[in-house]
Amino acid sequence: QTQSVDEKFLRKVLQAIEENIENELYGVEELANDLNLSRSQLHRKLKALTDRSPSIFLRAVRLERAKELLEQKAGNASEIAYMVGFSSLSYFSKCFKEQFGISPRNI
């Protein structure tokens, strides 16, 4: 099956994020560098494809992974927050609740 250029691009984005998911310092700048794009190119492409800015997209991927890990009972909320690159547990909880409508402790 042939993949569109956009699908390949999104796969590369997700792969880069997955490879660096534990690194709390991995952000938009690093993602753009890994993809050989400028920040503004990355912003334009991701916004066009996902309707999310790179920082929101990156955070959403981290939170999705956190949700999977919580459902697999891979650790408690604070351990998992660090596993997916959040250094602040309160910020992690706030973002998690925003995205899923439930506290990470309730999964």
Over the stretch 37-96, which tens digit does the pLDDT of each residue have? 999 999 999 999 999 999 999 999 999 999 999 999 999 999 999 999 999 999 999 999
54: closest CA among 71, 34, 70, 68? 34
Residue 1 has pLDDT above 70, yes or no: no
Q: Are 27 and 55 in contact (CB under 8 A)?
A: yes
- Position 3 confidence tier, pLDDT thresholds 50, 70, 90: confident
Q: What is the DSSP letter of 37?
A: -
Reported as half-sphere exposure (CB side, CA atoms, 13 A), residue 102 has a value of 11
67: closest CA among 105, 28, 24, 41? 105
Cα separation, 76 vs 47, whole angstroms: 33
- Listed in order, strand segments (DSSP E) in 42-86 are none
Task: List all residues 6 or more positions away from 36 whose beta carbon is below 8 Å from its beta carbon.
Answer: none
